[in-house]
């Protein structure tokens, strides 16, 4: 668990998209709330809007799981009620002011087609 008052950088995508929709959100939000918050945001690029539309299709129309990037580079299935602070891992990112360590949550929606 990562403690932060500033929020966490959240990146969400589907397996079929090469880009992710992202935003800085409060660490107290759940995965479900973070998805809704990203959808409600208005400052997204056109490609991020396409990713959010696809994510909305994936999670609203089908059975799905949320997969979270863990500290080892792998993914772990997580509940939509898990708080972002429980999933965040510290990553070093480049900023105009130089390298900075920030809490990051990487999420992927994995949907499943009906069989039979």
Residue 70 lies in a domain: yes
2-6, 67-71, 95-99, range with the lowest pLDDT:
2-6
83 found inside a domain: yes
If pLDDT is split at 50, 70 and 90, which confidence band does 114 have? low
In terms of residue numbers, what domain contains 107? 8-112
Number of domains in the chain: 1
CATH label of the domain that carries residue 12: 3.10.20.90
Largest Cα span, the chain: 55
Q: Domain for residue 1, yes or no?
A: no
Q: Is residue 35 part of a domain?
A: yes
Identify which of 80, 73, 58 has the alpha carbon closest to the alpha carbon of residue 106: 73
Question: Quick check: is 52 in a domain?
Answer: yes
Vertex 48: Cα angle to 35 and 106 (nearest 5): 50
**What's the rounded Cα separation, in Å, for the pair 33 and 25?**
10
Q: What is the per-residue pLDDT for 41?
A: 80
Q: What mean pLDDT is predicted for residues 41-52?
A: 83
Domain presence at residue 92: yes
13 part of a folded domain? yes
By percentage, how much of the chain surpasses pLDDT 70? 89
pTM of the shown model: 0.83
- 8 compared with 63, residue with greater pLDDT: 8
Q: Residues 58, 111: contact at Cβ < 8 Å? A: yes
């Amino acid at each position: 668990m990562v403690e932060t008052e500033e929020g966490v950088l959240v990146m969400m995508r589907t397996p079929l998209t090469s880009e992710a929709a992202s935003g800085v959100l409060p660490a107290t939000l759940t995965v479900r709330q973070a998805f809704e918050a990203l959808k409600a945001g208005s400052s997204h690029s056109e490609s991020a809007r396409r990713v959010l539309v696809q994510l909305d299709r994936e999670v609203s129309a089908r059975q799905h799981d949320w997969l979270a990037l863990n500290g080892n580079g792998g993914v772990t299935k997580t509940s939509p009620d898990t708080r972002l602070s429980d999933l965040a891992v510290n990553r070093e990112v480049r900023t105009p002011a130089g390298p900075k360590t920030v809490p990051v949550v990487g999420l992927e929606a994995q949907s499943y087609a009906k069989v039979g």
